[in-house]
Structure 1
Amino acid sequence: MLVEQITQALTAVREQKPLVVSITNYVVMNNTANALLAIGASPIMAHSKQEMAEMMAFAGALVINIGTLDSAWIPRMTFAVEQANANGKVVVLDPVGCGASILRTDTSREIARLADQLIIRGNASEIIALANEQAKSKGVDALDSSDIALSAAYFLVKEYGACVVISGETDYIVTSEQTVKLNNGHAMMPCVTGMGCTLSALTAAFAAVGEETGVAAAAVLGVVGEIAAEQSRGPGSLQLTILDELYLLDEATLAKRLKLQVINS
């Protein structure tokens, strides 16, 4: 049943072509916009408060990614979340580097508190830090494994009414109803900057068509990463091939490749 829901969500994204508003970092704007286009969604990198109310009135979902955070961005982000709330739209929070600085940690928690409909997508260290547990990190890179972040994810689900996606060698998707374990992906993927940010953008595209857990996006990117790695000589070609495979992925291949397990419900 879960596999069928994931494949149906892929079809829905391609049919509905949802608009995803992204307040995201300078490093990954091109990557994430191209990934959204490749999967069939429509990206817009909007950062101005002056147009955000209009944007969120017709957009499908909002991404808040704090990767290149500064004091000018924070009020724009909080205002965008308020507009998403006013229009009943899902907010995907990517707490990049949460735990690496007080500014990043406090801002992540402020956005999480503010959002009415929230998906949090981070690596294990970011999820642990957001939950106010001890995390090992160096900037935006995780030094913790995904499985030890599960207790932090359960806390965040209760604290913020959120769904939580822990990305890593193994992905976990934690909701109030169940926890799903995904073992797709490839060891080369962390060698490409912005893979997590790409997952956050795709998560918003799926949320915009009603798949609000994060599991479909994690499944799709994991499978695509595996397929792309089989054809790539290194990280440079992997990045390009992932875009191609996002565009080419079909329901049958997705269902056949998926390695998922519901570990509690």
Structure 2
Amino acid sequence: RIIDYPVVKKLVLIEGRIEDSLISAINKTGEQDLLALMLADIFGWDIDFYLDLRKDDTFRLLVEKKYINGRFSSYEQILAAYFINQRHLYEAFRFTYPDSSQTDYFDSKGNSLRREFLKSPLKYTRVSSRFSLRRLHPIRKIYRPHYGVDFAAPVGTPVQATADGLVTFAGWNGGAGRMVKIKHSHSYETMYLHLSRLGPGIYRGARVRSGQVIGYVGSSGESTGPHLDYRLLYHGQYVNPLGWKFQPAEPLGEKYRPEFNQQVENLRQLLLYPLPLFADY
């Protein structure tokens, strides 16, 4: 027989302090890894959660949690969040457009948190080699330019497209090994080298979305170990992905500002002065 268990959503305030990683800090609050990934997705255009984090960075967020028959079932949405990284306050407020039901995150002034490109093609990793015009090649043992940024990560780590675009190459490319190249708007291109395999549905001519998995870290081609060589081109010229300044997405339209401003005020009160820590609604 079918049993209908009671389903309850709770709005929960969670706050923490960085000691080593975001996942570890979230775990110390009693929450699961997924919540750290959700928070990283929101601020991922401004904060690289491996390179940019510092000890004693802090965060505070309001998240919907679903309970079935009194037991935690899933995270729903993060409605608002503060993140202080290197003494700079980043803020996020979720807004749903009333005429389309699409959602996005904005700061309190209505500026979109989205940028043209994500800061990193991997969610959690470390940089093992930076963009350089003169680097000793680890295999050929000669000095030559290194036009990308190497991210060390285990084989099989998902690689995400850093922006919407069109796949112009997907396959084997000599010393680059298994590679994906994507053409983006505003004369940008990105390249993802040394993959172990391609992501589902990735082929020449496929359209991809920002954050979509386009492959998995490997060590194919001329490589001394598992890593991703990530490259960015602007008007056909290689540029440093870590230092390049991307333009933000369009801000919130004026006609939505009154409703948005009211929501921001309400969420700010909950973030700063949480009366009950847990609220059923």
Considering the TM-score relative to the shorter chain, is it more than 0.5? no
Quick check: which has more Rg, 1 or 2? Answer: 2
The TM-score bracket by the shorter chain reads under 0.3
Give TM-score, length-normalised by structure 2: 0.24
Give TM-score, length-normalised by structure 1: 0.25
Q: Which has the higher strand share?
A: 2
